[in-house]
Structure 1
Amino acid sequence: MVSLSRLVAICVALGFAVAFGGSASAAVDTLVSPAISTSVNKERFGERVSSTPHDPSSPLLPTMASTPVPASIVQATTPISSPTAVSVEEGIPLRVVAPSIHLDAPVVPVGWKHVVQDGKVVGMWEVADYAAGWHKSSALPGQPGNTVLSGHHNTAGEVFRYVVDLQPGDPVFLYTEQHVYTYTVVSRFILRDKGMPASVRRENARWIGTFPDVRLTLVTCWPYHTNTHRVIVIAKYDG
């Protein structure tokens, strides 16, 4: 299994070329463009609550080139561990705005389905159409943990098409019924995912797992025509 430090090192060396894409070769192949660099504060943004690898039964990163799903709330099969239902009054995200990339999109809760990969049943996150999808088992905005949003970049509204262009220092605003939460981008990188072994995909999926700090993670695919890599953008909470 590729270590987290190895993944971060690869991302730093090869830069941000956001999106899901890439052909499969060995474990984690070279990532795309070296033109954009990235940095990750390992102490604050690179450590999970648990040092154990991502649970093989936990949902993997979403597949963006999936069969279209309803734009309102994506239907999913019964999850491995059913998250508690959250009402609007309890602060679920309703809208995401990133002025630097002209992103202003509704947010809807999404769940996951069970699929078979490499002869094993794994969870796979659904992706909302014409909206960003809030992973309903992830943290609420402003709360300790990882608030995860995913979205299409080349179909069904392309709401996350320009997430690849987010730069460290760019603000991202997450709206609920009662409050606007402000985040600042601290890192972005891409991971080869399509066609990779299940162990690598599980390692990639740790970025949408649990962390002790208050953070926002945006997930989409790249490049535009092949979806071979996953783009991960991490933003710290400002208030």
Structure 2
Amino acid sequence: MASSRWTRVVVAGLVTGFVMVAINRGVDRDATPARAAVVPKRLDIPSLGIEAPLMKLGVTDGRLDLPPFDRPEAAGWVKESAVPGDPGSAVILGHVDTKTDPAVFYKLKQMRAGQVIKVVRSDGKVAQYRVDSIEQVRKDRFPADKVYLEDGLRLITCGGVFDWDKNEYRDNVIVYATLVKART
């Protein structure tokens, strides 16, 4: 049990490190104030019937914040990641369910390669992505480098078997998508 706890601490540290490297990679410090003003506002996945508001999420104590369970219809953009439509890895998290109901990413595992994902931004642009692949991975084998260091949109939720002893799912479902176009 202690080994599992230390594994989580190490994984959280690695994930945070990868996020920080991705943020600082190629950032034009003079452009940062203008970029900070643009945020993603809504996630649209037509094939799944999803139109979800987006909130900003950060990193607290080396762990990614999650959307609150009392807003199951909302997803969250990791503000340390790229703004969707800009170069870099844009990461959006959402719950698969709550204790009583399905949540925003309940159907995420049904996504297929080639399907469209749109992100509406505060500057009026719509970043359109095409799904490349979907994978389900154990949380202790989370592919941080693939998620945080490669360009594209990443949608992440929980999946697999629910571990009642730990009160969490054992896996993550990750959708990888490539920017097709950003339009005004």
Tell me whether the two structures share a fold, i.e. TM-score over 0.5.
Answer: yes
> Which has the larger strand fraction?
2
Task: Give the alignment of 1:206-221 within 5 angstroms.
Answer: 206-211=145-150, 213=151, 215-221=152-158
Relative distance call for 1:91 and 1:219 in structure 2 (3 A) is: same
Relative distance call for 1:107 and 1:157 in structure 2 (3 A) is: farther
Q: Please state if 1:95 is matched with 2:42.
A: yes
Q: Please state if 1:235 is matched with 2:172.
A: no
Task: Give the alignment of 1:109-120 within 5 angstroms.
Answer: 109-114=56-61
Paired position in structure 2 for 1:108: 55
Query: What does the per-residue CA deviation read over 1:79-106, in whole Å, with 9 as the maximum and x for residues that have no partner?
Result: 9xx9998789832101001011111100
Distance in 2 between residues matched to 1:236 and 1:149, nearest whole Å:
14
Distance in 2 between residues matched to 1:111 and 1:98, nearest whole Å:
23
Paired position in structure 1 for 2:85: 142
Of all paired residues, the percent bearing the same amino acid is: 27
Q: Give the TM-score taking structure 1 as reference length.
A: 0.56
Please report how far the alpha carbon of residue 205 of structure 1 lies from its aligned counterpart in structure 2 after TM superposition.
Answer: 2.4
Please report how far the alpha carbon of residue 56 of structure 1 lies from its aligned counterpart in structure 2 after TM superposition.
Answer: 3.7
Query: What does the per-residue CA deviation read over 1:111-140, in whole Å, with 9 as the maximum and x for residues that have no partner?
Result: 1222xxxxxxxx111111321110111011
Tell whether the 8 Å contact from 2:12 to 2:63 is kept in structure 1 after alignment: no
Please report how far the alpha carbon of residue 58 of structure 1 lies from its aligned counterpart in structure 2 after TM superposition.
Answer: 3.8
For structure 1, which segment, 141-150 or 123-132, has the greater mean C-alpha deviation from structure 2 after superposition? 123-132
Paired position in structure 2 for 1:124: 63
Q: Which amino acid aligns with 1:101?
A: L
Give the gaps of 5 or more residues in structure 2. Answer: 5-10, 164-168
CA-based RMSD:
3.3
Correspondent of 1:190 among 120, 127, 136: 136
Relative distance call for 1:128 and 1:234 in structure 2 (3 A) is: same
Relative distance call for 1:172 and 1:124 in structure 2 (3 A) is: same
Q: Which amino acid aligns with 1:205?
A: A
Distance in 2 between residues matched to 1:187 and 1:57, nearest whole Å:
23
Q: Give the TM-score taking structure 2 as reference length.
A: 0.71
Tell whether the 8 Å contact from 1:154 to 1:224 is kept in structure 2 after alignment: no
Give the secondary structure class of the aligned counterpart of 2:145: helix
Relative contact order, CA 8 A, sep 6+: which one is greater?
1
